[in-house]
Amino acid sequence: MKKVATYCYQCVAGPDLLTVKVADGVATEVEPNFSAADVHPGGGKVCVKAYGLVQKTYHPDRVLRPMKRTNPKKGHGEDPRFVPISWDEALDTVAAKLADVRARGLVDESGYPRVAASFGGGGTPQSYMGSFPAFLSAWGPVDMGFGSGQGVKCYHSEHLYGELWHRGFTVSPDTPLTNYLISCGANVEASGGVAGVWRHANARERGMKRVQVEPHLSVTGACSAEWVPIKPKTDAAFLYALLHVMLHEAPREKLDLEFLYRHTSSPYLVGANGFYLREPATGQPIVAAALEAKETHVSLETGADGELLAEGSLEGETAFAKLVAHMKPYSPEWAERICDVPAARVRRIANEYLDAACVGQTIEIEGKTLPYRPVAVSLGKTVTNGWGGYECCWARTLLAALVGALETPGGILGTTVRLNSPLSQRQRSVRSGPDGLMGHPFNPTDKAHWSAQPNIRNAYRSMVPLVGDNAWSQALGPTHFSWMFLDQTPPGLPRVTLPDVWFLYRTNPAISFWDTQAIEERMARFPFVVAFAFTRDETNHFADLLLPDATDLESLQLIRIGGSKFIEQFWDREGFALRQPAIAPRGEARDFTDIATALAQRTGLLEPYNAAINRGTLGVRLGDFALDTARAHPAEEIWDAACKAASFELSEGKEANGLAWWKEHGLATRPFPRTAWYLFPTLAVKGLRFEMPYQERLLRVGTELGRRLHEHGMTWWDKQLAEYQALPAYKDFPGEWEQALVAMGGALQDYPFWLLTSRSMQYAWGGNVGMQFIKEVADNVAGHSGVILNAGRAKELRIEEGDWLEIATPKRSVRARAVLRQGIRPDTLLLLGQFGHWETPVAKDFGMPSMNSLVPMSLELTDATGSAADIARVSLRKAA
């Protein structure tokens, strides 16, 4: 028996470092990598999903040979009639298609890439696809904007606005220090991975009070000190009321006035037209002498497109003063009517937060004295995406800023950057921008540079300035446009076309996107689909080729670990970990790197492919260990070079350990300073301010975007343009989904329930849904066998545990068994996870539906960032 060190990165809360026991060439058991206990912030433990890897490897329904479709008709009810073929035939077929594309031009008549690729959420497939990114890089333009969940259904507003405000693509409490946490729908016990669970357990035992605000009592609510059962999608009202209490009821000195004045844009003077007053000579915003002031200065007020709105002796009011006036109407009594949370409770929570903020206190970390502000607000999915997402993210960031808990010990931290570079070094991504604020790579909205010619089908560059234009931006645009506009492209955009070739890996949009039936119908029209396949599933049902890659325990890859990334993944170490074959690949499955190399060879792209690897596409620049670009290298050779380069980087040139060393040791790390978790000191040193509370930049960008769109006859984005407010007002966010119901022909009284979803930790990100082992243990957690509804409400409706129910919108319906619980609002239904499988082995027999098929895909429900939310108004009745 031997133990092989490797990692699990099946969801973004990874990587977990583990060992696999192998006896006689058979993988038998997963264990934590006990040697990583001091390296990993979760004690080196491994989440439940990784324990399914053994069964995944030996799954009886694995695709073990390349297969081709023999039924040219595609459709839900069409049997693809896959038949086995050789690898040579499979690769030749793909290469021939790609050669044809290259001959006809890499982009089509609409200017869109003819090749598209979709990968599963959060970039996690990259930790399994070996050198395939180097092949895509060598290929040229690829449309990676066909959504399968990312973009529309992620923490989208947090990603975009969080990164703008504090390099917080993902945002986390500084859990090791936070003492008071308001968690609006954030389900960290299910979604925060091992590090999240471990740290929050420590925090609870330490005495951190967590107030869980959400319509149902999630596992995180269960582990919280208090549950506030708020009406769905009204979180912004709750947060606004907290701000109201802090600004209008609490003594001003309870706030961190120093932080607000010195480190935020609060003292900037705002002119009569809503833009900053600026020094005539420098164009810089004028900073008032006090936080709350009206001052008159000889100044300029410049609006969108550089338009001079006013000049001379102008009166301005500080951004903070405008904020105070803006929040006046949002009292706890006002919020009570919207949120169904008693005003007294809102007020108490606001005051508890203030009392716990420790304004004025400091802490010493690694010899540096920093502000100590142990209070935080975390936001979950459906709160941070779709209409209301902007308002919630703004309110949350402002709640931190008011007490100086933004990027300071104990407060809220951005833990990842994705739209700025360098991706792996958040601190270095801080660059000076205009107006004494951090720079952000907005897509241009000025007349000279805005483009009505998108580079990919979801048009992120034209429609969403905030999302920037790097490798991640494609997947963070309005990814449903690629699907939705296939039938009818709105005026101003080139006609959305089908890609000639679509690559799929570890993604299943036919299950995980919204309006999944509509997705299926469109997918069936794709002319040539290549799916790297583990088993058959609902998306590769429409594929032309299935290619079996060697799976988690069978293949080779080196990844970066540690540093700061994803929500709770901020570590005290950083380095690399190796995934290595614990056993030989089953059947004819091939290492993904070897597949990528073979494709590069067959398409004549070997040289640029190797060059891309040398440049650092594998996550580390190869430098002195660069590959000979003229020849094909086996996977072991490629990763040996990567291992040496990684070792060289980690040891600052002292070592160059190759693959053999990494296979033996599994990982290597070096310290990552804790002070690097906090951005506040970096901004302070650079003399930059956090852009809070007033969003002059967004107002300017939104105004310009509106002008550009209108100049091109594009009025269909007007509703979204209204989101660009400098101080966002509360809107009737639940009303958006109520209107959607009415638009579908429903009457509200006939569809009285709010249908929500919630993370299942056991199935998070879906890659293990076909494991009997996971199903068995997941069923111990309520909600995995049906729809959760309030037991009292069920009694009124004469529904009993286990009854078959029909959940419906006017357009579609699903069936689920009743799971009766007390921990859910009487007006709310909950379907855990994303199921509804009809092809994936094992999962298709669960009898568990998904809300995804019920949520309409519509422009009306799309916010300005291009995102929507998992929520729908539905009816409920006993099924016949």
Partner 1 sequence: MTTWAMVADLRRCVGCQTCTAACKQTNDTPVGVQWRRVLDMEVGEYPDVRRAFVPVGCMHCDDPPCMHVCPSTATRKRADGIVTIDYDLCIGCAYCAVACPYQARYKSSEDAKRPDVATKCTFCVERIDAGLAKGLTAGVDPEATPACVNSCIAQALHFGDVADTTSNVSALLAENQHFRMHEELGTGPRFYYLWDKAP
Chain contacts with partner 1 (rule: CB under 8 A):
28-32, 34, 42-43, 45-48, 51-52, 54, 189, 194, 197-198, 201-202, 204-205, 217, 219, 221-223, 227, 229, 761-762, 772-774, 776-778, 780-782, 790-792, 821-826
**Token duo for residue 665:** 């040791």
Q: Torsions phi, psi of 248, nearest 5?
A: -120, -10
The least distance separating partner 1 from the CB of residue 47, rounded to whole angstroms, comes to: 6
**CA atoms of 153 and 479, how far apart (whole Å):** 10
The least distance separating partner 1 from the CB of residue 31, rounded to whole angstroms, comes to: 7
Whose Cβ is closer to partner 1: residue 368's or residue 844's? 844
**CA atoms of 805 and 423, how far apart (whole Å):** 46
**Token duo for residue 98:** 């790609």
The least distance separating partner 1 from the CB of residue 38, rounded to whole angstroms, comes to: 13
Query: Got the DSSP string for 75-99?
Result: STTS---EEE--HHHHHHHHHHHHH
The least distance separating partner 1 from the CB of residue 51, rounded to whole angstroms, comes to: 4
Whose Cβ is closer to partner 1: residue 60's or residue 687's? 60
**CA atoms of 181 and 363, how far apart (whole Å):** 19
The least distance separating partner 1 from the CB of residue 761, rounded to whole angstroms, comes to: 5
The least distance separating partner 1 from the CB of residue 791, rounded to whole angstroms, comes to: 7
Q: Torsions phi, psi of 124, nearest 5?
A: -65, -30
**CA atoms of 167 and 587, how far apart (whole Å):** 45
Whose Cβ is closer to partner 1: residue 55's or residue 813's? 55
The least distance separating partner 1 from the CB of residue 228, rounded to whole angstroms, comes to: 9
- C-alpha distances out from residue 384 to 158, 387, 681, Å: 6, 9, 27
Whose Cβ is closer to partner 1: residue 54's or residue 843's? 54
Whose Cβ is closer to partner 1: residue 188's or residue 370's? 188
Whose Cβ is closer to partner 1: residue 204's or residue 710's? 204
**CA atoms of 72 and 533, how far apart (whole Å):** 19
The least distance separating partner 1 from the CB of residue 320, rounded to whole angstroms, comes to: 37
The least distance separating partner 1 from the CB of residue 589, rounded to whole angstroms, comes to: 22
Whose Cβ is closer to partner 1: residue 703's or residue 790's? 790
Cβ–Cβ under 8 Å, residues 738 and 873: yes
**CA atoms of 468 and 62, how far apart (whole Å):** 39
Tell me the residue ranges of DSSP E strands in 566-710.
569-579, 667-671
The least distance separating partner 1 from the CB of residue 828, rounded to whole angstroms, comes to: 11
**CA atoms of 597 and 627, how far apart (whole Å):** 13
**Residues ≥6 apart with Cβ < 8 Å to 651:** none
The least distance separating partner 1 from the CB of residue 4, rounded to whole angstroms, comes to: 15
Whose Cβ is closer to partner 1: residue 46's or residue 241's? 46
Whose Cβ is closer to partner 1: residue 219's or residue 627's? 219
Whose Cβ is closer to partner 1: residue 276's or residue 570's? 570
Query: Got the DSSP string for 190-239?
Result: HHSHHHHHHHHHHHHHHT-EEEEESSB--HHHHTSSEEE-PPTT-HHHHH
Query: Got the DSSP string for 506-531?
Result: S--HHHHSSSHHHHHHHHTT-S-EEE
Whose Cβ is closer to partner 1: residue 204's or residue 815's? 204
Strand partners, 172: 413
CA-only gyration radius of the chain, Å: 27
- What single letter denotes the amino acid at residue 505? Y
